Amino acid sequence: MDGRGLTVQIGEDRLERVVCQMEVEIKNADGLHMRPAMQFVDIASTFECDIIISNSENSVDGKSIMQMSMLAATCGTKLKIRAEGADAQQAVDALRKLVEEKMFDEPPPKKNKTKNVKT
């Protein structure tokens, strides 16, 4: 549940390709909407490696806000982060921290779910 199952696969090792993979869970109440998507992309973009994010249906570029926001990942959704490149390990760590520890600086869902319904 915590996404701790870190798996490091050292690939075929041509040109130091490191592949890192990890599953994370969206924990903030409003999910991966625009602002969290922006934070995610901003952090992802600081790394050299390629970053691919997948849900159960699609795989998208973790450095594109358009593609990331289109995942429309709501609270509780599990996403797979796959990084490939020299700094893959650091990238995956940083992104996991953002999603699961910092939770995009947003609150978790309230116990008795009071959604902000439009009036």
Partner 1 sequence: MEIKKGIAVSPGIAIAKALIIDSEDYRIPRRSISPSQRMTEIQRARNAFKDAVGELTRLEVAQDKTDEGKIKDIFAVHLRFLRDRSLRKKITDLVHSESVTAEYAVSATMREIASHFTKEKDPYMRERAADIYDIERRVLRQLLGKKREDVEHLTEEVAVVARELSPTETAGFDRKFVKGLATDAGGRTSHTAIVARSLGIPAVVALENLTDDITGADVVIIDGNRGIVIVKPDEQTIRQYQEYEREFVALEHKLDAIREKPAVTRDGIRITLLGNIEFPEEAESVLQKGGEGIGLYRTEFLYLNTKREPTEEDHYQAYAETIGVFKHRPVIIRTVDLGADKYTQSKRFAPEPNPFLGLRSIRFCLQNLMMFKTQLHAILRASVLGKVKIMFPLITNIQEVMQSKLILRDVMEDLDEESVAYDKNVQIGIMIETPSAALTAATLARDVDFFSIGTNDLTQYTLAVDRGNELVSTLYSAADPAVLRLIRTVIQDAHKAQIDLNVCGEMASEPEYIVLLLGMGVRTISLAPPMIPEIKQIIRSVTMEDCNNVARKILGMNSERQISNYLRDATRKILPEVF
Would residue 79 show up in a list of annotated catalytic residues for this protein? no
| Residue 1 one-letter amino acid | M
* DSSP secondary structure, 38-106, as one string: HHHHHHHTTSSSEEEEE-SS-EEETT-HHHHHHT-PPTT-EEEEEEESTTHHHHHHHHHIIIIISGGG-
Q: How far is the CB of 10 from partner 1 (least distance, A)?
A: 29
Residues that bind partner 1 (CB under 8 A): 30-31, 33-35, 37-38, 41-42, 61, 64-67, 69-70, 72, 74, 115-118
Nearer to partner 1, 30 or 100 (CB): 30
Query: Tokens 């599990």 belong to which residue?
Result: 78
Nearer to partner 1, 9 or 58 (CB): 58
Catalytic residue among 17, 33, 78, 80: 33
Q: How far is the CB of 85 from partner 1 (least distance, A)?
A: 18
Would strands 50-54 and 7-10 be described as parallel, antiparallel, or unpaired?
unpaired
Nearer to partner 1, 78 or 89 (CB): 78
Q: Tell me how far apart the alpha carbons of residues 88 and 92 are, in angstroms, rounded to a whole number.
A: 6
Q: How far is the CB of 77 from partner 1 (least distance, A)?
A: 10
Q: Which positions are catalytic? A: 33
